[in-house]
C-alpha cells in the first residue's frame, strides 16, 4: 500500500489532509499493514537525513523534466517515505504565495503524479493499492487506466474538501499527455476547463471522504460544488470514514499547555483552566459565567455571520466569548469591533497560537462550530475529549460526532452536545440557550461531559475501517468507466 499525498505532517502542512497522511499510515502500520508514502520534496523539508534512490524523466507536453526520488521515513522509521524532488517544488509555498496560486500548478502536480508511476515501474517493491489524496494526486488513477496500464495497482481517492478541485485553463490540457478524448464532459472537462479532481472521481476504483454525512452531502447540489452529478454516478463506490485525532497531543490528562491537567474522574483541573483562561484573556473572572470558545480559520465556511448575530444576546445573559483565529479581514474588523464594545465579556486573539487553542478547548464550558459545511472537523472532537460541550450545526463530520441532548439521548446516555439544523442565527441561538440552561444543572452537565470524554476518536478506529475498505477494493472486479 502506497500513500500518494501532496502533504503530510511533520514534513509539510497547509490543512487537515496533512494530519491524516501523517497519522493514518502509522496507525495502519501498527495494525500490520505494509505501508509507504510518497510526496513532493518541498523546499522546507530538511534533506540531511534523506538519500537519493532513483531518477525520473517526465514528459510534459513537448518538454522533458528531470527529478530525483529521495528516501526518508515517518515516525520512528516504521513507514518509509519517498520524496519527489524537482525544480517544481523548490519554492517558498506548497501551492502558492500571498494568497495567489502558482500558475503552473497543473504542470507541477502532473509531474508529481507521473513521477510516482515512473518510479513504481522500476521499484522492486510492488504496492497493490495506491491511496491518493485530493486534486493534487487525482491524476494517478487517470494515468493508471490510460498510459500506465502495465502497473497492476488499484486506487482509492480521498476527498478532504470538495471546494478544492484543481481547475485549470483548457490550454494546459496537452501538458498532461492524455488523449484529447478525455477533454469532454464525460472526462476531465468542467465548464470549458480542466478539472483534475473530476478525473480522479471518474477513474479511481473507490472514493472516500472524511465523514459519512459529508459523503452523502457532496452528492447534492447544495454541497457538491458542481461535481454532485459525477459523484452520484459513483455513489456505489463512495464511502465516508471519519478522521481520527492525535490522542497524545490532545489529552487533558497530560497536555503540557494547560495550567492544570484533569481526567474524566477528576474534573477539578478544568475549573482551574477556566479561571486561568479568563485571566489570560482579560475576561471577568467568574466561575459561573457561561464561557463559550471558538478556535477557527476566520472564513465563510465556519458560520461566523451567525455567531456575530447572536453575541449581543449571549452577553446580555451574562455569557462570555473567547475567539482565536485568523483569516478574512472582514471578520477581523467585525469581531475587533465587538471586542471593543464588550470588554470583560468578549476576548479576541487574531493569531495562530497552538497553546491558546489548547487552553480554550480546556477552559471553555462550550465550544461553538456553526459551520455551513464541515467535511470532518477536528475541534469538536478535541472539545468532546476535553469535557467542553460542543454546540454545532448538523452538517458533515459534526453531524456524525455530536449527539444532540434530548430527553431520549440523555436517558440512554448518548447525549454529548447541542445540535441545530437550519443555517440561521435563530437556530443557533435556540441551541445555545438550551446549552446555557443545561449548564445550570451541574449533574446533567457532568453527564454530557462524561459521555463525550468516553468517546473513541482515535486513528486506530479509523485505520481499521480503512483496512476493511482496502480489502474490498482489492476484491473488486474490473474497471469503472
Ligand atoms: P479546518 O480544517 O477547516 O481548518 P478543523 O476543525 O478540521 O477545521 O481543524 C482546524 C485545526 O486548526 C484545529 O486543530 C484547530 O485547533 C486549528 N486552528 C485553527 N485556527 C487556529 C488558530 N488561530 N490557532 C491555533 N490553532 C488553530
Is the distance from CB of 175 to CB of 110 less than 8 angstroms? yes
Q: Which residues contact 364 (CB under 8 A, 6 or more apart)?
A: 274, 277, 291, 292, 293, 322, 388
Angle, to 10 degrees, between the axis of helix 304-316 and the axis of helix 329-341? 0
DSSP letter, residue 6: S
User: How confident is the model at residue 210, as a pLDDT?
Assistant: 97
Contacts by residues 329-334 (CB-CB < 8 Å, ≥ 24 positions apart): 331/298, 331/299, 331/304, 332/298, 334/304, 334/308
Å from CA of 272 to ligand 1 middle? 24
Residue nearest atom 3 of ligand 1, based on CA coordinates:
377
The mean predicted confidence, pLDDT, of the chain is 96
State whether the beta carbon of 363 lies less than 6 angstroms from ligand 1.
Answer: no
**Which ligand 1 atom lies nearest to the CA of residue 15?**
2
State whether the beta carbon of 327 lies less than 6 angstroms from ligand 1.
Answer: no
Taking 90 as the threshold, does the pLDDT of residue 356 lie above it? yes
Task: Indicate the Cα dihedral angle 390, 359, 258, 397, nearest 10°.
Answer: 40
pLDDT-based confidence at residue 477 (cuts at 50, 70, 90): low
Å from CA of 28 to ligand 1 middle? 25
**Which ligand 1 atom lies nearest to the CA of residue 324?**
23
Q: Please name each of the domains of the chain with its CATH number.
A: 2-244+460-474 (3.40.50.2000), 268-455 (3.40.50.2000)
Å from CA of 105 to ligand 1 middle? 25
State whether the beta carbon of 350 lies less than 6 angstroms from ligand 1.
Answer: no
User: How confident is the model at residue 463, as a pLDDT?
Assistant: 96
User: How confident is the model at residue 99, as a pLDDT?
Assistant: 80
State whether the beta carbon of 340 lies less than 6 angstroms from ligand 1.
Answer: no
User: How confident is the model at residue 480, as a pLDDT?
Assistant: 43
Å from CA of 441 to ligand 1 middle? 31
pLDDT tens by residue, 252-264: 999 999 999 999 9
Is the distance from CB of 324 to CB of 297 less than 8 angstroms? no
Prediction pTM value: 0.93
Q: DSSP string spanning 42-82?
A: -TTS--TT-EEEEEEEEEETTEEEEEEEEEEEETTTTEEEE
User: How confident is the model at residue 98, as a pLDDT?
Assistant: 85
Query: 322: cis peptide before it, omega within 30°?
Result: no
Å from CA of 8 to ligand 1 middle? 16
Overall average pLDDT of the 109-133 stretch: 97
Å from CA of 118 to ligand 1 middle? 36
CA distance linking residue 417 with residue 402, whole number of Å: 6
Taking 70 as the threshold, does the pLDDT of residue 425 lie above it? yes
> Which of 23, 161, 300, 357 is the pocket-test mutation for ligand 1 (most atoms within 8 Å of CB)?
357
State whether the beta carbon of 297 lies less than 6 angstroms from ligand 1.
Answer: yes
State whether the beta carbon of 369 lies less than 6 angstroms from ligand 1.
Answer: no
Taking 50 as the threshold, does the pLDDT of residue 184 lie above it? yes
Å from CA of 36 to ligand 1 middle? 27
Overall average pLDDT of the 340-345 stretch: 97
Pull the grid cell for residue 55: 531518477
CA distance linking residue 185 with residue 111, whole number of Å: 24
Given the DSSP bridges, would you call strands 389-393 and 36-40 parallel, antiparallel or unpaired?
unpaired
Q: DSSP string spanning 433-479?
A: HHHHHHHTSHHHHHHHHHHHHT---BHHHHHHHHHHHHHHHHH--S-
**Which ligand 1 atom lies nearest to the CA of residue 351?**
23
State whether the beta carbon of 325 lies less than 6 angstroms from ligand 1.
Answer: yes
State whether the beta carbon of 326 lies less than 6 angstroms from ligand 1.
Answer: yes
State whether the beta carbon of 357 lies less than 6 angstroms from ligand 1.
Answer: yes
**Which ligand 1 atom lies nearest to the CA of residue 397?**
7
Taking 80 as the threshold, does the pLDDT of residue 479 lie above it? no
Å from CA of 388 to ligand 1 middle? 16
pLDDT tens by residue, 197-213: 999 999 999 999 999 99
Angle, to 10 degrees, between the axis of helix 354-363 and the axis of helix 268-280? 130
Percent over 90 (pLDDT), the chain: 95
User: How confident is the model at residue 427, as a pLDDT?
Assistant: 98
State whether the beta carbon of 299 lies less than 6 angstroms from ligand 1.
Answer: no
Taking 90 as the threshold, does the pLDDT of residue 5 lie above it? yes
pLDDT-based confidence at residue 334 (cuts at 50, 70, 90): very high
State whether the beta carbon of 75 lies less than 6 angstroms from ligand 1.
Answer: no
State whether the beta carbon of 354 lies less than 6 angstroms from ligand 1.
Answer: yes
pLDDT-based confidence at residue 478 (cuts at 50, 70, 90): low
Amino acid at each position: 500500500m502506497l500513500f500518494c499525498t501532496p502533504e503530510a505532517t511533520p514534513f509539510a502542512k497547509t490543512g487537515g489532509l496533512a494530519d491524516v497522511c501523517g497519522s493514518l499510515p502509522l496507525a495502519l502500520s501498527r495494525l500490520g499493514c505494509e505501508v509507504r508514502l510518497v510526496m513532493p520534496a518541498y523546499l522546507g523539508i530538511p534533506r540531511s537525513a534523506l538519500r537519493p534512490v532513483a531518477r525520473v524523466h517526465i514528459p510534459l507536453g513537448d518538454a522533458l523534466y528531470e527529478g530525483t526520488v529521495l528516501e526518508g521515513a515517518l515516525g520512528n522509521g516504521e513507514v518509509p517515505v519517498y520524496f519527489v524532488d524537482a525544480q517544481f517544488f523548490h519554492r517558498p509555498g506548497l501551492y502558492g504565495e500571498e494568497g495567489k496560486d502558482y500558475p503552473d500548478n497543473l504542470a507541477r502536480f502532473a509531474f508529481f503524479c507521473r513521477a510516482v508511476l515512473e518510479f513504481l515501474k522500476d521499484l522492486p517493491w510492488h504496492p497493490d493499492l495506491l491511496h491518493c489524496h485530493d486534486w493534487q494526486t487525482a491524476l494517478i488513477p487517470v494515468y493508471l487506466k490510460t498510459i500506465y496500464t502495465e502497473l497492476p495497482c488499484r486506487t482509492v481517492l480521498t476527498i478532504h474538501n470538495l471546494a478544492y478541485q484543481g481547475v485549470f485553463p483548457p490550454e494546459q490540457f496537452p501538458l498532461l499527455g492524455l488523449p484529447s478524448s478525455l477533454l469532454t464532459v464525460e472526462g476531465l472537462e468542467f465548464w470549458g476547463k480542466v478539472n483534475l479532481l473530476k478525473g480522479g472521481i471518474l477513474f479511481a476504483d473507490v472514493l472516500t471522504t472524511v465523514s459519512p454525512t459529508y459523503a452523502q452531502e457532496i452528492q447534492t447540489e447544495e454541497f457538491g460544488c458542481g461535481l454532485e452529478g459525477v459523484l452520484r454516478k459513483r455513489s456505489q463506490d463512495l464511502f465516508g470514514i471519519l478522521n481520527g485525532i492525535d490522542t497524545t497531543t490532545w489529552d487533558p490528562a497530560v497536555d503540557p499547555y494547560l495550567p492544570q491537567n484533569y481526567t474524566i474522574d477528576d474534573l477539578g483541573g478544568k475549573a482551574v483552566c477556566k479561571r486561568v483562561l479568563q485571566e489570560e484573556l482579560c475576561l471577568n473572572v467568574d466561575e459561573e459565567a457561561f464561557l463559550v470558545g471558538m478556535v477557527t480559520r476566520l472564513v465563510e465556511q465556519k458560520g461566523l455571520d451567525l455567531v456575530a448575530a447572536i453575541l449581543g444576546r449571549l452577553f446580555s445573559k451574562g455569557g462570555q466569548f473567547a475567539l482565536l483565529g485568523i483569516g478574512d479581514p472582514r471578520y477581523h474588523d467585525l469581531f475587533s469591533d465587538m471586542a471593543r464594545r464588550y470588554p470583560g465579556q468578549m476576548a479576541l486573539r487574531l493569531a495562530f497560537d497552538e497553546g491558546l487553542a489548547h487552553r480554550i478547548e480546556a477552559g471553555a464550558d462550550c465550544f461553538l462550530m456553526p459551520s455551513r459545511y464541515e467535511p470532518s472537523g477536528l475541534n469538536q472532537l478535541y472539545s468532546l475529549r476535553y469535557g467542553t460541550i460542543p454546540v454545532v450545526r448538523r452538517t458533515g463530520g459534526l453531524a456524525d460526532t455530536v449527539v444532540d441532548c434530548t430527553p431520549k439521548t440523555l436517558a440512554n446516555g448518548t447525549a454529548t452536545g447541542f445540535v441545530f439544523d437550519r443555517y440561521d442565527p435563530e437556530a443557533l441561538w435556540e441551541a445555545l440557550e438550551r446549552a446555557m440552561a443545561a449548564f445550570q444543572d451541574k449533574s446533567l452537565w457532568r453527564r454530557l461531559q462524561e459521555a463525550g470524554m468516553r468517546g473513541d476518536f482515535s486513528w486506530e478506529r479509523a485505520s481499521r475501517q480503512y483496512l476493511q475498505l482496502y480489502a474490498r477494493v482489492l476484491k473488486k472486479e474490473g474497471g469503472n468507466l
